[in-house]
A and B are shown apart, each in its own frame.
Chain A
Amino acid sequence: MSAGATLPPPGLPGLDVRFSHTIAVPGAGTDAGLVREWHYLDSGPELGRLGVTPIGTILAVHGNPTWSYLWRATVAESVRAAESGEPAWRVVAVDQVDMGFSERTDVHRPLAQRVADLDAFTRALAIDGPVVTLGHDWGGVVSLGWAVDHPDLLAGVALLNTAIHNPGGVPIPLPLRLAGARGMLAASTVATTAFLDTTLSLASPPLDASVRDAFRAPYRTADRRRAIGGFVADIPVDGRHESFAELERIAAGVARLDVPALMLWGPRDPIFSDRYLDDLVDRLPHADVHRFEGAGHLIAEDRPYADALSAWLDEHHDRLTEPRGPGREVDAGPVGPAGREDDAQSGASADPSFSPIWQRLEERRNDDAIAVVDMAPGGSRTPRRVSWRQLDDRVSRLAAGLHAVGVRKGDRVSLLVQPGATLSAVVYACLRIGAVVVVADAGLGVRGLTRAVRGSWPDVVIGETIGLTAARALGWPGIRISVARLPRVSAAALGVSYSLGDILQHGADADLPAVPAPDDDAAILFTSGSTGPAKGVAYTHRQLSALRDVLAEHFGVTEETGLVTGFAPFALLGPALGTRSVTPDMDVSSPRTLTAAAVAAAVRECDARMVFLSPAAILNVVDTAGALTPDDRDALAGVRTFLSTGAPVGTRLLESAAALMPNATPHTPYGMTECLLVTDVTLDVLREVADAPDAGVCVGSPIGSNRVLVSALDAEGRASGLPSDAPGVLGEIVVSAPHLKDHYDRLWLTDREAARDTDAPASADPDVRWHRTGDVGHLDADGRVWIEGRLPHVIVTVDGPIAPVGPEQAVERVDAVRRAAIVGVGPRLLRQVVAVVETLPPTTRPGLADPSLTRAVRDQVGLPLAAVLAVPTLPTDIRHNSKIDRSRLSLWAERMLAGSRPVAP
């Protein structure tokens, strides 16, 4: 009944017939004594023809229900590299037996047999090391089976959406449960092409019809599809399944691997979701991981995985090619789940340059002075005051309690708690035990927040009822801990395991675990998402402590300073700085709710010398200044330092705010989620440079030991210049600081891009880490930094790149213009520059600006403008009231100028 291997039909898109081969393989396991014919793709003979000796072999294993065609891009890349004289890996991509164009047999093939089959194949082909395995879907499991069985050959493992374990108690994904149900199985997988078609439909963007046909080519008849059903039936639903033991064996072996590992993941996968990625990351914590937001199960079709793979092979070239021998894998260090146990002496005390973030809090543990105040806890009018003694006690008990209920170093704790004393206590408790706090701003919106939380895959979620309701409704992962004690029914409905009260009780007489090491991960903060999907930014303890120290030193914060923190990230730093901090009465997710009187009340409460506000909050504070009483004004007169943090604000707004705090020095530091404090500028300096010829917003000079360089933009608008301190050059701002983020979470490619070309001469220093900010601007002759926009908003015209902020400032000098945005329309490299303005008085209809305004704008702007459009209001970024959404506006302007019916942007 068996049908031998065949060759695929010629003309399949992207597949060169020269790569197709068949081989007769002496069978193993149940096939012992038989010979099986395999079809496989192999770049080896082409490399041989080109006279290139490969670095090693990539052994690629497809999943169900695809075939080696999935790997055509990597095979082609192998030959391309060889042809252009670069070092090349040989790529061998198999069609598993009964799949693709390999032999059809009537033999049942559970996982162990599949692993044995692959071993038989590599023996027959006499594959020698080093080998990097590459697998997708259940092919990932089979490839890992081969990997753990061949430590002498194995150099690395690469995985695309796969799973090697069903975490306890978690049902297998619904689509597979349905496909595996009796009756459904045969119907969906074999008799019809439903399972095949469903899998192919998971590609986003959708596959070309010709590619879809190529995937279907070997599965035209029910006979040829039989193994698709076999694979689905082989998914171990529970411990009684025949393949369970083999899966457990492989899973345990993987946790002992210490070879370089790469995981490329499409999170929009109904089957191999983030849950399985998280499990694999636990087993291979050293892996390089990239989640392609928006991509799905067929990641190899959705994204340029082959480019990512070759970048990874280059980066790890030395490790991948070092000599290896049998038995190497067993002496792997403390990795995998077993390695998560606390190392008794991983403490930080040995490092003199480092003191833990909770140091000052601990120093004041017997102090009854006030540490933290919430002016309006939970919307109530009565301030809540917490002393240093209370806060330290609360932190210690929560820390011990969290540890007692099983939260361990490295576990991720997602916090859905409003800033205030409770959040502070929970954050310091987590940091103390080495749990990684995950903080995503509610301003991301439900969709953004869900993506952020799912992407970071927390082990624990601590939240207020509203956050937990969302967590439940949206299926966010993690053990749920409620801030408030909930009635049993509600707790059950929300899937809540503990309240913070329970945790405190558990912590009452429990011991604290050892402290984390300085270079352990401490926190993951999410970017605003104003320029693409929110990214998780990971900080270590050392970097958090450095942030505290640079803040204290630069702004002269002492025990007596007193902070009013209307800007979330800094609200948490009060206890670390050892000074009292007050959260004013406001809805922190909506900065515009902060009034001048609320700021004054907070200042009075703790005799604060320092006030932090976000730009959006400042607008409202200035607008509500009329309601200030003489008492309020007296209190505000005590402020010595005032910081606008979050985004640069105009001199005029800063002056209005400064007028309310006449004795304060106003500062507007520049930073981003990845590096919260880069430069700083005072109002006095802003006044000094007001007449400077520089385009953009002056954000001052680097703070402390921070450094700022510029990577020049080329004619095509790419930041291709080597980072340099040359003044007057427009380019991407590149920064370094001791408190710069450690890495992006599960975004390996983004990490690489952020550090691209930062080992250039001006930036060369092995101890300094650099980060490309995505902001564009220039340095002036005094080393001050001027920001001129975001890299994606640079308009690349025939005459070169144009950054928007400078021309916007010029346009805003026209009397009839309230606000302006400069955007581009048309194809890349041929963009036409367009000014879009809000007018005074406001226009009621969007359209062409009137001729006199158009002339005034053209005269003022100093560069060729294709059009001047007037709108009632410019679209503003949801996160930043002050930031115009140029990306959206540019799409709108393009539609308008193509001749569409005028509508508001």
Chain B
Amino acid sequence: MIVLVTGASGFLGCAVAAELVAGGHEVRTLQRRASGVVGAADVLGSITDADAVARATDGVDGVVHLAAKVSLAGAESEFRSVNVEGTRSLLAAAERAGVSRFVQVSSPSVAHVGSALMGVGAEPADPRRARGRYAQTKAEGELIALARDSSAMPVVAVRPHLVWGPGDTQLVERIVDRARRGRLPLLNGGTALIDSTYVNNAASGIAAALDRANEAHGRAYVLTNGEPRPVGELLAGICLAAGVQPPRWSIPAWLGRAAGAGIERVWAVRPGTDEPPMTEFLAEQLSTAHWFDQRDTRRDLSWAPSVSIDEGLSRLAEHYSR
């Protein structure tokens, strides 16, 4: 099968493209920079560029859509043009190109309203109540994608939660960097239980969704390792793997949230060059439980994670020791 992977220069997109290549598919990618995936053919361009999208989808059987603006801060219009309009135009192009299966890679945050989540399934995406611009626009994107589900082009949405692994600049590098500078507090002692997904599991889960699109279409699935851990333990594991001191100080969650909200407001008028050190959304993510019922995911996608968290942490340690 010829498969288009969008956003393959990103951490997860790259892993998905590699997984599909390894699975014997002919893989094409679409993003602004070279993907670096061995065995894949890159189409360079933005998801917001209709011509590039049309070129990329031409002659393709399946699409895995990962390209997104992933950030904790930024103007709403930027999020919207990529996460909403980009998705809409890709879907239209895919239909025109006769694509026979479409996997929308989404995020559990599309259904988050800020309270603790314990053992929940994939609730419907809710752009009005999702927290933050990323989650809101991703929610819209997922709804648009699932609305295009048809027998001609089955659509599955997959929401990997908190993907991490060697080479991750989004999450792991930031954690390690902040911990190294002593700027990584735990909130409420870091006891909130959270699910996470080792990158290879996320990639194999997404490949499974593509494979099972005819059976699982029209639905969203949360994808995780199925091994929830206290956030403090996970952060400590990542820090220790990277050889830095794990976070040792804790602040009350309300303080983290309040500080996050304050910093977000300052960043909005006087943006720094980097991501804000703390946002209200991040504070919430670090202080409330987020773990999921994986029964439907595993059954419908005929998939199970192959790398445990412990194994993932050893691989991470190996990566940092090189």
Contacts and interface: CB of A to CB of B under 8 A. Distances in A.
**Do A and B assemble together?**
yes
A832 interface: yes
B193 A832 contact: yes
B118, B190, B191, B192 — most chain A CB neighbours (10 Å): B191
Contacts of A896: 191
B175 to A, nearest CB: 15
Interface string B185-214: 001111111000000000000000000000
| Most chain A CB within a 10 A radius of its CB, from B190, B227, B228, B289 | B289
A828 to B, nearest CB: 9
B316 to A, nearest CB: 15
A726 interface: no
Contact of A867 (B193, B236, B293, B295): B193
Interface string B213-229: 00000000000001111
A848 interface: yes
Given A847-B191, A848-B190, A825 B118 contact: yes
A848 B188 CA distance: 11
A832 B119 CA distance: 9
Given A898-B116, A898-B289, A899-B287, A866 B191 contact: no
A827 B228 CA distance: 14
A898 to B, nearest CB: 4
A902 B191 contact: yes
A701 to B, nearest CB: 40
A832 B188 contact: no
Given A827-B118, A830-B119, A902 B230 contact: no
Contacts of B233: 848, 851, 854, 867
B252 interface: yes
Point out which of A798, A830, A832, A898 has the most chain B C-beta atoms below 10 A from its C-beta: A898
B253 interface: yes
A896 B288 CA distance: 10
A901 interface: yes
A901 B119 contact: no
B119 A851 contact: no
- The dominant DSSP class at the B interface is mixed
B294 interface: yes
Interface string B108-139: 00000000101100000000000000000000
Contacts of A847: 189-191
Given A848-B233, A851-B233, A851-B236, A901 B193 contact: no
Given A832-B291, A847-B189, A867 B240 contact: no
Contact of B192 (A798, A854, A897): A897
B229 A826 contact: no
B232 interface: yes
B86 interface: no
Interface residues of A, number: 22
Contacts of A901: 188, 252-253
B13 interface: no
A826 B288 contact: no
| Main SS at interface, chain A | mixed
A851 B246 contact: yes
Interface string B232-244: 1100110010000
Interface string A873-905: 000000000000000000000101111111000
Given A832-B193, A848-B191, A898 B294 contact: no
Interface in A821-840: 825-827, 830, 832
A851 B233 CA distance: 7
Contacts of B294: 798
Nearest to A846: B189
B246 A826 contact: no
Contact of B191 (A826, A854, A869): A869
Nearest to B230: A867
A864 interface: yes
B253 A899 contact: yes
A374 B291 CA distance: 59
A848 B118 contact: no
Given A825-B118, A851-B233, A867-B229, A830 B293 contact: yes
Contacts of A899: 116, 187-188, 191-192, 253, 287-289
A826 B187 contact: no
B301 to A, nearest CB: 16
A851 B289 contact: no
5 contacts: A848-B230, A851-B246, A867-B193, A897-B192, A898-B118
Interface of A: 798, 825-827, 830, 832, 847-848, 851, 854, 864, 866-867, 869, 894, 896-902
**Sorted from nearest, which 5 A-B pairs have the closest CB atoms?**
A899-B192, A830-B119, A898-B116, A897-B193, A827-B119
Interface of B: 116, 118-119, 187-193, 226-230, 232-233, 236-237, 240, 246, 252-253, 287-289, 291, 293-295
